Amino acid sequence: MSPLHDTSVRGFASDNYSGVHPDVLTAIADANDGHQVSYGEDVYTAHLQEVCARHFGEAAQIFPVFNGTGANVVGLLSMLPRWGAVVCAKTAHIHADEGGAPEKAAGIKLLPIATPEGKLTPDLVAEEAWGWGDEHRAQPLVVYITQSSELGTVYTPDEVRAIADYAHERGMRVFMDGARLSNAAAALDLPLGAFTTDAGVDVVTFGGTKNGALGAEAVLVLDATASDGLIYLRKHQMQLASKMRFVSAQLLALLDGDLYLRNARHANAMAARLRSRIEAAIADGGIRGVDFTQETQANAVFARLPAGVADRLRESFRFYDWDASTGEVRWVCSFDTQQEDVDAFVVQAARLTSSA
């Protein structure tokens, strides 16, 4: 079948807009011939467990799933009793972007906290970490953090460790949403285990879809005492793939080598280029009325645009409003974003802001 879309068009709306990395497509094709046992009893999933142990430690267990929302719901469910609650940032994906799935599909009470940079701290967690033993209050038993965060910021290993120590001292556990875990690894220039397992995280997800996969995510249990029944919950929550070899093959293509890191480094570099080119244009007067609202640490850039500019700019490049009331927008770069995409975007932004 011929493509139904213009393959030259690229945008900055989300790394979910990008295609599949050629190496991932090859991995799917290579896994296609012959028969393999279904539901995860295949050689690809077995090898994925070995690769997972290299990245996250020998005790780590990996459970491939279909998507990020499913990974969050299944992972959190495995960590909580029915009366448990999750402390999270107000901007957290589970609170703001998953259609109520944690509450409706899993029955999990969320305790959101306002954060200036999308990141929790022990002091912020303390706002909701109370009331244990009070039968009238959902019990705060898990702290949920996102790496990199929904605002494109990155937790350092010390910041993760501080949250983990605070939580563990109070009998709570730590769940890390790693939809963009690879981008965090690239930003920190550290192995995946350095800011997960080694920093005290109990359960983490690994995102493949935003980093070049067709549709492959995983839940990783780093501390077996923090999670129970995941093997049953994955099926219960409709996240168990019958032909799991094709999900595992994608994750292997990313993790059994450094493709996950190369893709993330490129996406981060394109975001850094986008910001630096705009900053340079602001300095010389080529772009007017634009300011940045967050640090650019991974592959996302947050900025405010003059009134009316965003809609006109979207005629050429797709992206989302983050807060339409203030003119704040989000630009996300992907593994396949090219320098010429960034440069063309900056030229158009300069033209439109100059005439605004």
pLDDT at 279 over 70: yes
pLDDT at 349 over 80: yes
Average pLDDT over residues 73-100: 97
pLDDT at 319 over 90: yes
Strand 328-332 versus strand 320-323 pairing type: antiparallel
Q: How far is CA 161 from CA 185, 194, 198, in A?
A: 16, 10, 8
Residue 300 contacts residue 274 (beta carbons within 8 Å): no
Cβ contacts of residue 287 below 8 Å, gap of 6+? 278, 281, 346, 349, 350, 353, 354
**Structural tokens at position 198:** 């080694």
Q: How far is CA 44 from CA 22, 47, 213, 280, in A?
A: 18, 5, 16, 47
pLDDT at 255 over 90: yes
- Please tell me the distance from the alpha carbon of residue 23 to that of residue 59, in angstroms, as a whole number: 28
- pLDDT tens, position by position, 130-160: 999 999 999 999 999 999 999 999 999 999 9
pLDDT at 278 over 70: yes
Q: Report the predicted TM-score, pTM, of the whole model to 2 decimal places.
A: 0.97
Residue in 168, 112, 104 with CA at minimum distance from that of residue 145: 112
CATH number of 260-355: 3.90.1150.10
CB-neighbour burial class of residue 82 (10 A; exposed 0-12, middle 13-18, buried 19+): exposed
Q: What is the pLDDT of residue 100?
A: 94
Domain ranges of the chain: 22-257, 260-355
- Please tell me the distance from the alpha carbon of residue 65 to that of residue 59, in angstroms, as a whole number: 19
Would you say the CATH fold of 260-355 matches that of 22-257?
Answer: no
Map tokens 């494109």 to a residue: 152
Question: Which class would CATH give 22-257?
Answer: alpha beta
Residue 330: phi, psi to the nearest 5?
-125, 130
Average pLDDT over residues 166-191: 98
pLDDT at 27 over 90: yes
Map tokens 């005492």 to a residue: 225
- Please tell me the distance from the alpha carbon of residue 202 to that of residue 228, in angstroms, as a whole number: 12
Residue 120 contacts residue 143 (beta carbons within 8 Å): yes
pLDDT at 253 over 90: yes
- Please tell me the distance from the alpha carbon of residue 150 to that of residue 178, in angstroms, as a whole number: 11
What is the average pLDDT score of the chain?
96
Cβ contacts of residue 235 below 8 Å, gap of 6+? none
- pLDDT tens, position by position, 180-215: 999 999 999 999 999 999 999 999 999 999 999 999
Average pLDDT over residues 310-318: 95
pLDDT at 356 over 70: no
Q: What is the pLDDT of residue 355?
A: 76
- pLDDT tens, position by position, 285-313: 999 999 999 999 999 999 999 999 999 99
Map tokens 């994750």 to a residue: 251
Average pLDDT over residues 88-94: 97
Q: What is the pLDDT of residue 116?
A: 87
Q: How many CB atoms lie within 10 A of CB 168?
A: 16
